[in-house]
Structure formats: C-alpha cells, structure tokens
Amino acid sequence: MTLQERIKSLDDLSKEDMISLFEILSLKLSDLETDNQEKMANDNYTFWDMTIRFREQMEKEGVEFTDEDFANLRDRSLGREVKF
C-alpha cells in the first residue's frame, strides 16, 4: 500500500481512532526529533557541515531557489513612526 493510499484510507476511521492515531504519530515524531537533536549534539557539526547537509537535502528533494523566490522580500518602509 502506498503512502497516498494509506492517507486516503484515513477517511474511513472513526473520530476516536483518528485522535488515537494522531496521538501515536505525535509521540513518534517527538521521539524522532529528540533522537535527531541528540545525534546532532553528539556529532559536533560546524556551521559549514550543516550548510552542506542542508544543500544536499534540498538537492535530494528537488528544491530549487531562484532570485525570483527572494524578490521583494525586503521591507522598504521607513519603519515605525517615532514620537518625540
């Protein structure tokens, strides 16, 4: 069964089963995050190591950034009004 088929089958679950499944998945995710944080703390990655890992992950997932993604992000306002 593919992931998409499994997701679609969630529609057949009762509300109680969905809540239970959500709680189980939340615990699993929490465990994974804790494991990942401990691994990173033990591996003593430098900023550059993490930058390379980030780039590798983006390439693996097929994510590409272009200049258009960052166009018009800057806030060009003068800022908040200052009252003297």
CB within 8 Å of 55: residues ≥ 6 apart: none
The pTM for the full model equals 0.39
Q: How far apart are the first and last CA of the chain?
A: 67
CA distance 1 to 8: 11
Name the one residue in this structure whose structure tokens are 């990655």: 45
Report domain extents, the chain: 12-67
Burial 5-33 (b: 16+ CB within 10 A, else e): eeeeeeeeeeeeeeeeeeeeeeeeeeeee
Per-residue pLDDT of 6-65, as tens digits, reads: 888 888 889 899 899 999 989 888 888 887 777 776 667 788 988 998 999 999 998 888
